[in-house]
Amino acid sequence: MQLIRRGNSGPAAAEVRASLVMLGLLSEGRHAAPENPDEVLFDAACELALREFQQSRGLNADGIVGPETWRALVASRWRLGDRVLARSVNEPMIGDDVHNLQERLLEMGYDVGRADGIFGARTELALRSFQRECGLIADGTFGPATMRALRQLGRKVVGGRPQMLRESAMIYHAGPHLIGKRIVIDPGHGSTDPGWVVEDGDTTWTEAQLTFDLASRLEGRFASIGVRADLTRGPDTDATNAERAEFANAVGADVLISLHLDGHHNPEARGVAAYHFGTGSGTTSTVGERLAALAQREIVARTGLLDCRTHAKTWEMLRLTRMPVVHIEVGYLTSPVDRASIVDPSFRDTVAEAILIAVQRVFLPVDADVKTGTLDVSALRAMQLS
């Protein structure tokens, strides 16, 4: 789709404006739009309201309507009870109403997986279980009768958010060893999508090239301790974020690591940041959050990169996957300071080892965990044999 940004006009800009007004983020009275959609301008007020929307949804708050922001705006139009919800294989129902239903089912102890706002197979199964327990027809369709039953019941699970408890229990039962676990590594961008591109003297560096090299080094380190790791793309191929998430789901990955490099028009911007799935409503991937924190601390401790901390986001790679995921921006390619490190192969070796150690620490019991920056690959090999 064509990006919509400040200064654009036309029907698409009019639709974005109308969505922001409906959400209460933009006052129609103060910023009335022309009657002709072709004359509607995506102005400064629209951009500010859009940034607020993006921030609340865990999206990049850049004030630009791209594919993910557009899908989020479309989803935001639906409230629970506005329509009948049912599973469709060809065109899954997507919306805030689906997300709200998933949240309510999770609160009552039903396993819908991640509250991703997509009415899929797990949501249907959870809804059927709820309907059976309520004495309703277990058809997996959310209509008026199921809506009434949902309103009458409160939470059944106590002691923490059910999905958080479920994720933590899965990690505990998986055991401390990495051998036997399935790791998927996702080098960002690729093929015709190079990501950030920087000319440095006679050399051109691309995000896609460097993330694939880093992913290959990380794959080799997992292999050295007897753990299988798969890459979501080859050196000259690409895939959408949804396709990468589907691949990780299909192979039954225990952990997904997505590798990227950041960039900014200001060359002073630098540092490493890690992202995990999480929304403003409190929904989060508990293990993903811990993995992001461990990866962030290990990388900072071993490389000296500026610590830009961890953040919750709802990006497709984080939202559409069924396992703990960490998205790591390993420095700014546009920063002369960070770039000097990033293009050094020994630096990428260090980052690969830091991520490997972080993944191992996620599976260790609290009483067996180690201090950040102290574990190395040789010790890791010994742990797999113990």
**DSSP letter string over 294-358?**
HHHHHHHHHH---EEEEEEE--HHHHS-SS-EEEEEEEETT-HHHHHHHT-HHHHHHHHHHHHHH
Note the pLDDT of residue 115.
84
Note the pLDDT of residue 385.
64
Dihedral in degrees, nearest 10, Cα atoms 108, 112, 117, 120: -140
pTM, rounded to two decimals: 0.81
Is the pLDDT at 383 greater than 90, yes or no? Answer: no
Is the pLDDT at 32 greater than 80, yes or no? Answer: no
Mean pLDDT of 37-60: 87
Note the pLDDT of residue 159.
42
Note the pLDDT of residue 88.
92
Q: Is 128 exposed, middle or buried (0-12, 13-18, 19+ CB in 10 A)?
A: middle
Which residues, 6+ apart, have CB-to-CB distance to 113 below 8 Å? 120, 122, 123, 322
- Residue 245: its H or E element: helix 241-250
Is the pLDDT at 384 greater than 90, yes or no? Answer: no
User: Which has the higher per-residue pLDDT, 164 or 278?
Assistant: 278
Mean pLDDT of 330-343: 97
Is the pLDDT at 347 greater than 90, yes or no? Answer: yes
21-25, 259-263, 324-328, 369-373: least confidently modelled range? 369-373
Contact in structure between 280 and 52 (CB atoms under 8 Å)? no
Is the pLDDT at 280 greater than 80, yes or no? Answer: no
Assign 367 to helix, strand or coil.
helix
Note the pLDDT of residue 162.
56
Note the pLDDT of residue 158.
46
Note the pLDDT of residue 285.
81
Mean pLDDT of 94-118: 88
Domains in the chain: ranges and CATH: 11-75 (1.10.101), 96-158 (1.10.101.10), 166-385 (3.40.630.40)
13-22, 26-35, 148-157: least confidently modelled range? 26-35
Alpha-carbon distances, residue 74 vs 6, 41, 236, 242 (angstroms): 19, 19, 33, 18
Computed over every residue of the chain, the mean pLDDT equals 89
Q: Integer distance in angstroms from the first to the last C-alpha of the chain? A: 53
Note the pLDDT of residue 368.
74
Note the pLDDT of residue 229.
96
- Span 193-246, pLDDT tens digits: 999 999 998 999 999 999 999 999 999 999 999 899 999 999 999 999 989 999
Mean pLDDT of 253-278: 96
Note the pLDDT of residue 40.
77
- Span 296-319, pLDDT tens digits: 999 999 999 999 999 999 898 998
Mean pLDDT of 49-68: 91
Contact in structure between 38 and 53 (CB atoms under 8 Å)? no
Report residue 160's pLDDT band, with 50, 70 and 90 as the boundaries: very low
Assign 276 to helix, strand or coil.
strand
Mean pLDDT of 97-111: 89
User: Which has the higher per-residue pLDDT, 53 or 172?
Assistant: 53
Tokens 């093929």, residue?
A: 191
Note the pLDDT of residue 35.
60
Is the pLDDT at 380 greater than 90, yes or no? Answer: no
Report residue 157's pLDDT band, with 50, 70 and 90 as the boundaries: very low
Is the pLDDT at 34 greater than 50, yes or no? Answer: yes
